[in-house]
Structure 1
Amino acid sequence: MSLNFVELRDPLTHLVLAPAIGGSLVNWTVRATGQPLLRHSDEQAINTGLPGKLGCYPLAPWSNRIAHGGFDNPDGWLALKPNSHTDPLPIHGSAWQQAWQVSRQTADEVVLQVLCDAPFAYRAEQRFRLRDGVLTIELRVTHLGKNAAWHGLGLHPYFPRRQGTRLQAKASQVWLSDAAKLPTQLAAVPEDWDFRQTGTLPQSLVDNGFCGWDGHCLIEQPELGHTLECQATGADYFLLYCPPGLGFFCIEPVSHPVNAHHLPGRPGLKLLEQGQSTQLSFNLKYTPHVGGGLPPIAV
């Protein structure tokens, strides 16, 4: 695969994008030390050509899994096939599996764009802005099909997980899920999944959607010497993925819960007519700890 990376730098941080790999963010690092602010992508990870091995990728025109082999649009049933070797269900839409193009670039901003014709026609745009240690990602989708269709959005960032990593993210309820990782019922947030106050990540597997979110989260990384303060808009839900024994976790801002196409009222989804758009944004502010940080990593 021939890759043309796109880079942005501000006085504090360095951003690397790979438009050809699903419009993915490869690395976001601290310029002074090389420390990763998102999970570090080495050469081996990049060479897989898989967005899920990199730092962050876009989810459109829906987030996560859809059951029953498709869903109802106003003009009838839309059949879907599994699109990942690691999951038996259609997952994360189609934009992450396309090569994106740079449509505009300035000193502090890059705009990527892709046109898709499956599962229906739409245009997706990502705007990355980097200023004084603040990364802003805006994801916008415009429906191009003649017939209206249900749309949802999300971002899938991977964050480094160390022993002292701590998270704050308020949620009122959590979706419990079955063996297929599909939601079964809403429940009160268990104590070890309750991040209304800053706390360490659970040791057991978490792969669940949370609702009643104000879009704010705080990620403290004492071993890496920084804090990320994040704010999402257009996302009333987040997915938390904490795989045991691995050096990363994900908190994903999303516009709708898993399998929303089959939940009562289709929560968080938007029915878009031709030319109509929906969008989501995620703002990540890097703050170094005074005297914190480790020696530079080898990249």
Structure 2
Amino acid sequence: MIELTDQFTHLVLAPALGGSLVNWTVRASGQPLLRHSDEHAINTGLPGKLGCYPLAPWSNRIAHGGFDNPGGWLALAPNSLTDPFPIHGSAWQQAWEVTSQSEHEVVLELRCETPFAYHARQRFRLNNGELNIQLCVTHLAAQPAWHGLGLHPYLPRRPGTRLQARAGQVWKSDAAKLPTALAPVPEAWDFRQLKGLPEGLVDNGFCGWDGHCVIEQPELGYRLECQASGADYFLLYCPPGLEFFCIEPVSHPVNAHHLPGRPGLKLLEHNQSIQLNFNLKCIPHVGAGLLANTVDQ
């Protein structure tokens, strides 16, 4: 485990578990800023049980057992016991290496040959209650390939949790959780203004996003103000009855490899790169005092 601290927050990472974030908490109170990962969650060895993990060289599901690259068909096998499709790329299933570390910043790197050769770098920086995540991927194979990026944070869900995130349209999806058509955002999923999360299942992609979102957590005494770049889409996952939800900044919609025009994907030649940034700033509620009188861990 790698630990970073600033004057207000504490971050724990697990490079060997997919370059994942384990926990991010308020130092003075211990309140979770990402979904809390207990010892059992860590011992599963599964990034999907932790706080956040990287998505590269694509996000979410790909249908039809692969996709076309300029050099021909790239066959992909399912890579998760819980999904029939290849999902979330390969970076989350690799051990990452710590290449730089200081009190407030750490850099993790990965060289991977699956499903083609690429180099990935994550930089995590803490400052004044603000977490910045930078994910960059460079294509290393001789033949060009389609790339996409994303991050998969898990956020605490309490009865009063509210979300603000503007979107132009939403992808309808079928029983296999693959997109079928773009549609206007229904009222229950319209988060242009702060509102509570839907009671029913949401597992859909949204487009026309400006990269900004706010997560209000009154029971936990703070809100997160977030800004993404390199991500024109977000995925919202709200599983009913569970104490977490996900809003994932991504560069492309689900199954973009098979959508007309491959929206959001980038065809990278050898040594070309793409990058995604996500900034999450913790702001205490008035009177909460969570970021005051910080005690040392």
- Per the shorter chain, which TM-score range? over 0.9
Q: Give the alignment partner of residue 94 of structure 2, picking from 90, 98, 112.
A: 98
Q: CA deviation at 1:291?
A: 2.4
Partner of 1:9: 5
Whether the 8 Å CA contact 1:207–1:240 is kept in 2: the answer is: yes
Identity of aligned residues (%): 79
Partner of 1:29: 25
Relative to the length of structure 1, the TM-score reads 0.96
Q: Give the alignment partner of residue 268 of structure 2, picking from 268, 272, 286.
A: 272
Once the two structures are superposed, what CA deviation does each residue of 1:221-242 show, in whole Å capped at 9, x if it has no partner?
A: 0000000000000000000000
Q: CA deviation at 1:289?
A: 1.2
Q: Give the alignment partner of residue 240 of structure 1, picking from 236, 242, 252.
A: 236
Q: C-alpha distance in 1, partners of 2:169/2:271?
A: 34
The alignment yields a C-alpha RMSD, in angstroms, of 1.0
Once the two structures are superposed, what CA deviation does each residue of 1:172-217 show, in whole Å capped at 9, x if it has no partner?
A: 1000000000000000000000000110000000000000000000
- Greater shift in the superposed pair: 219-228 or 285-294: 285-294
Whether the 8 Å CA contact 1:222–1:292 is kept in 2: the answer is: no
SS in 1 for 2:33: coil
- Greater shift in the superposed pair: 263-272 or 103-112: 103-112
2:106 paired with 1:110: yes
Q: C-alpha distance in 2, partners of 1:15/1:108?
A: 9
Q: Give the alignment partner of residue 249 of structure 1, picking from 235, 245, 250.
A: 245
SS in 1 for 2:253: coil
Q: Give the alignment partner of residue 261 of structure 1, picking from 257, 260, 276.
A: 257
2:289 paired with 1:281: no
Q: CA deviation at 1:278?
A: 0.2
Q: CA deviation at 1:292?
A: 2.4
**1:164-183 matches, cutoff 5 A:** 164-183=160-179
Partner of 2:122: 126
**1:64-213 matches, cutoff 5 A:** 64-213=60-209
Once the two structures are superposed, what CA deviation does each residue of 1:64-83 show, in whole Å capped at 9, x if it has no partner?
A: 00000000000000000000
Q: C-alpha distance in 2, partners of 1:146/1:67?
A: 25
Query: Which runs of 5 or more residues in structure 1 are unaligned?
Result: none
Whether the 8 Å CA contact 1:223–1:293 is kept in 2: the answer is: no
Q: C-alpha distance in 2, partners of 1:14/1:160?
A: 16
Q: CA deviation at 1:290?
A: 2.4
**1:35-54 matches, cutoff 5 A:** 35-54=31-50
Q: C-alpha distance in 2, partners of 1:292/1:193?
A: 29
Q: C-alpha distance in 2, partners of 1:148/1:57?
A: 25
Q: C-alpha distance in 2, partners of 1:291/1:91?
A: 43
Whether the 8 Å CA contact 1:62–1:154 is kept in 2: the answer is: yes
Whether the 8 Å CA contact 1:22–1:57 is kept in 2: the answer is: yes
Q: C-alpha distance in 1, partners of 2:103/2:112?
A: 28
Whether the 8 Å CA contact 1:224–1:293 is kept in 2: the answer is: no
Residue type matched to 1:117 in 2? E
